[in-house]
Structure 1
């Protein structure tokens, strides 16, 4: 009998009247909000505008959800498209099943579209959002706790996760507690986020290197955590498919880190284009003074355009006339002006 363990929720859904609030979906939503909120803080610290991260996330998040679900369904197609299975279940995202590899890949595609629409380079946006993504994963993993899924092998450790009989593996129906791999990965993701934050402050990472560091660090933890899991998965050469994916992605991230540091050292000075009006304000003026300057310039143009019109009407004074008038004025000045007597 286990003296200590982590209990599992009795239900993965809570009904608020007629509205079901599913724990898995709730964790995903909270994670997305945290990622956008913290990404916005980092974006502002880099000199970006408020709201830019959220605007781009409008593209990245839906793409990420679609990509994560596609990766899961494709790699675990037996769960949906074999005899005795209902293919409609492939659309039931709230029951679990989002592959992080597909989520990041498709999310990056959506972010690229959003960045392109605003004239922003994708790497600089990825650097700003990287720690937030890790925090979002840490929160999202608790959705697996609500669904009692993705746990490890049996254990008697005091932090073992209690799994109900309906969710236990077929080969260990009488064992109660298992390794809480969701918790291991959640804690690992928090550590990855803190690592990226520290490294970014220490080394001023730029041009996508903060994001690459996040990817490399995450895949290291995902590899050993994946090895502990006992849920169904495809195996290649004795290793789970996600282990191989983690190895390949880790290698790609490390190569990018090295090549990027050599080819594009340092960090970007600006993160997004500055509108013309904002540039005038930043130069020391205000929107009102900028408008006044524009009005003055317009008046000068009008005046200069009016002079040729006077010439055409014959109103231009000849130089000789100006000289004669000047000559007439000199005697008057000598006489004291306005005809008055001269004081001796």
Structure 2
């Protein structure tokens, strides 16, 4: 696998249109549209999801960037110290460097405030987001491919990814040990495929088991699906810091908490509860 295009589509003076931004915009629009279709099926006004998008987008990007800067800073940026010495780097999101968990936190608060402000069913909107979000993530991950980021250790597998020397982190930037012919695990691809499958599963469940579902079930399913895959992908990350002497990092902890919470909540709702599902 090779990055097929230059990261910049075209430039006009100081302005540049980047493929990363195109993938992100496509992901947001597609995921939001899909979320709106679920709202329509639940008897809500699907067009309101676009209003919610504007409420969530800026807080979600801020949260995603701050999480990355303060917790997930890659070694290629010399860790957090690079942002201390040059704070303007914090605003340069086109260079890569946002983290989904920060977006979850800030975006969820914004969604709660929106639904509370307009007296809308919060759990229904969470279900809608849970349907659109994995599709958006699956599309957006291809921006990492263009930027030659989110790759794992060397591999001999046929789908290994070529990474140019300027985009490599230590120790893989040692060309004597890891020549340019070295291929790396395409973690962006693994996560994209996992999210595409997750989207298909959540869509299927939303239609097949609609009479049995309760408001918030799809969100809980997403809370299980995505962190479960991310938990295992994290073992292959090359740009994360890990707890000393272990193969685990902070993301593993967050993922485990999310999966256990989702499983426990679904069991409580459907095994230890007799309340009815969503009325059609």
Give the TM bin, normalised by the shorter chain: 0.7 to 0.9
**Which residue matches 1:169?**
169
**Greater shift in the superposed pair: 198-207 or 111-120:** 198-207
Pair 1:17-2:6 in alignment: no
Partner Cα distance (1:143, 1:83) in 2: 22
For residue 235 of structure 1, give the secondary structure of its aligned residue in structure 2. Answer: coil
The 1:264/1:69 distance shift into structure 2, 3 A limit, reads: farther
**Which residue matches 1:335?**
none
Report 1:60-139 matches (<5 A): 60-76=56-72, 79-81=79-81, 85-139=85-139
**Which residue matches 1:321?**
none
Partner Cα distance (2:59, 2:191) in 1: 23
List per-residue Cα deviations over 1:62-111 (Å, max 9, x = no partner). 22111111211120356243598422212211111111111112111111
Partner Cα distance (1:217, 1:237) in 2: 28
What is the deviation of 1:33?
0.3
For residue 10 of structure 2, give the secondary structure of its aligned residue in structure 1. Answer: strand
**Which residue matches 1:8?**
3
Report 1:300-319 matches (<5 A): none
CA contact (8 A) 1:127 1:206 kept: no
Structure-2-length-normalised TM-score: 0.87
Give the unaligned 5+ runs of structure 1. Answer: 1-5, 271-344
The 1:72/1:266 distance shift into structure 2, 3 A limit, reads: farther
Report the aligned-residue RMSD. Answer: 2.1
The 1:76/1:229 distance shift into structure 2, 3 A limit, reads: closer
List per-residue Cα deviations over 1:231-251 (Å, max 9, x = no partner). 232426611221222111211
Report 1:196-211 matches (<5 A): 196-204=202-210, 205-211=213-219
Q: Indicate the structure (1 or 2) with the bigger Cα radius of gyration.
A: 1
Spell out structure 1 runs of 4+ moving beyond 6 A.
none
23, 37, 48: which one pairs with 1:27? Answer: 23
**Which residue matches 2:185?**
179
What is the deviation of 1:267?
3.4
The 1:236/1:137 distance shift into structure 2, 3 A limit, reads: farther
